[in-house]
Amino acid sequence: MAPALHSLIVRDRTDAAHILEFLFHKYGDLGKLVLEHCWLGEDGTGLLANVMDLYPDLESLSLTHCRPITPATYNSISHQK
Listed by start position, the domains of the chain span 7-78
Residue 21: is its pLDDT beyond 70? yes
- Residue 13 has a pLDDT of 95
Instruction: Give the whole-angstrom CA distance, residue 43 versus residue 7.
Output: 23
Residue 1: is its pLDDT beyond 90? no
pLDDT digits 0-9 by tens, 32-79: 999 999 998 887 888 888 888 888 778 899 999 999 888 887 777 765
Pairing of strands 7-11, 60-64: unpaired
What is the pLDDT confidence band of residue 14, given thresholds at 50, 70 and 90?
Answer: very high
- Residue 79 has a pLDDT of 56
What is the signed CA dihedral for 70, 66, 52, 45, rounded to 10 degrees? Answer: 30
- Residue 27 has a pLDDT of 61
